[in-house]
Copies of this chain bind each other. A is one copy, B any other.
Amino acid sequence: MSDRSRIAVDAMGGDEGLAVMLAGVARARRRFDDVSFLLVGDEAAISEGLKSHPNLSQHSEIVHAPDVIAGDEKPSQAIRRARTTSMGVAIDLVKQGRAGAAVSSGNTGALMAMAKLSLRTMPGIDRPALAALLPTLGDNDVVVLDLGANTECDARNLVQFAVMGAAYARTTLDLGSPRVALLNIGSEDQKGTEEIRDAAQMLRVAGHLPMNFTGFVEGDRLSRGEHDVIVCDGFSGNIALKTAEGTARFVGDLLKRAFTSSVRSKLGFLISRPATELLRDHLDPNNHNGAVFLGLNGLVLKSHGSANERGVATAIGNAAKMVKADLARRIAEDLRHFEAKAAA
């Protein structure tokens, strides 16, 4: 088995603990049976935990790391402890070529700082960005980035995010010329911050880019399926992503209240249950877990801190698909191709 089909997992990160991480990895392993794992963290605890997962146990190695990055640890502090922590060691396994991707449910800021320091950004990219696929009403999911890696961004960062997001959409969603929009608070040219307006100007004149720049998109049209890539700074992206998650749950909670408000509505609910369960499934954040840092020389995925077993399995599954698609190399090639075209 080649090293590339191995995934390094930070077994200690996340709010739900080691048992949930291992159960999630074991679940993913049942679906992706050609992938093996490097489980990074406290050797004794992982070894004990693996007793409940004989299949995973057979297809994984434990890599000991004595320390764990805390959820509230500052990135600047975390990077000094990279070598001894489960998160830092998992990333390093990617750097060494011993794993095709690293997955962690731990501290996002620390993960980003460590990944950047260890793997370095691709040529032509100043800052990596956190990207995820969100569900839409259309045929495809939409790539949204940055989701929180960079609190503040200049126009140049946003343009690079657009290029990386388009490359991700081309390789993952198999689209020739993805429709790329900038998230803004209005669709008119003068709306938003100077950074966004400047980025729009740069994208408008960049006809050589293998994308179709469609201008500004507002928050209410994220899920309409009208765009393939939506670009924003990490602050806005995080607010949009979490507000969307929270609102979906809010509507779900109201729906539950509505359905249990009378005997009649309970009956209706029972009858239409198969349909509403499909919907619940479609909206469950655990089924969309696993954001990826784009722009690094290697794949690092962030699983939601509160992801359950199914959520962890989704993130690991996404990592397996990206490893198989050789995503990092393909994005780098795509960027080189674009640069060659731009220089021509």
Contacts and interface: CB of A to CB of B under 8 A. Distances in A.
A151 B269 CA distance: 44
B185 A234 contact: yes
Interface in A205-261: 218-224, 232, 234-236, 238-255, 258-259, 261
Nearest to A271: B268
Contacts of A268: 268-273, 275
B193 A219 contact: no
B272 A246 contact: no
Contacts of A259: 272, 275
A58 interface: no
A220 B246 contact: yes
Interface stretch (A116-124, A277-285, A322-330, A336-344): A277-285
A54 interface: no
5 contacts: A151-B193, A219-B239, A243-B243, A243-B244, A261-B278
A258 B276 contact: yes
Contacts of A45: none
A284 to B, nearest CB: 12
A55 interface: no
- Please tell me how many copies of the chain the complex holds: 2
A283 B245 contact: no
A219 B243 contact: yes
A220 B193 contact: no
A293 B61 CA distance: 60
A126 interface: no
A137 interface: yes
A72 interface: yes
B193 A222 contact: no
Contacts of A255: 255, 276, 279
A148 interface: yes
Nearest to A220: B246
B270 A258 contact: no
B246 A275 contact: no
B243 A151 contact: no
Given A239-B219, A243-B244, A279 B258 contact: yes
B275 A267 contact: no
Contact of A243 (B152, B247, B274): B247
B265 A190 contact: no
A51 interface: no
B246 A248 contact: no
A302 to B, nearest CB: 13
Contact of A244 (B136, B247, B278): B247
A217 to B, nearest CB: 10
User: Which of the listed residues A152, A185, A264, A271 has the most CB atoms from chain B within 10 Å of its own CB?
Assistant: A185
Nearest to A192: B151
Chain B CB count within 10 A is highest, among A152, A238, A264, for A238
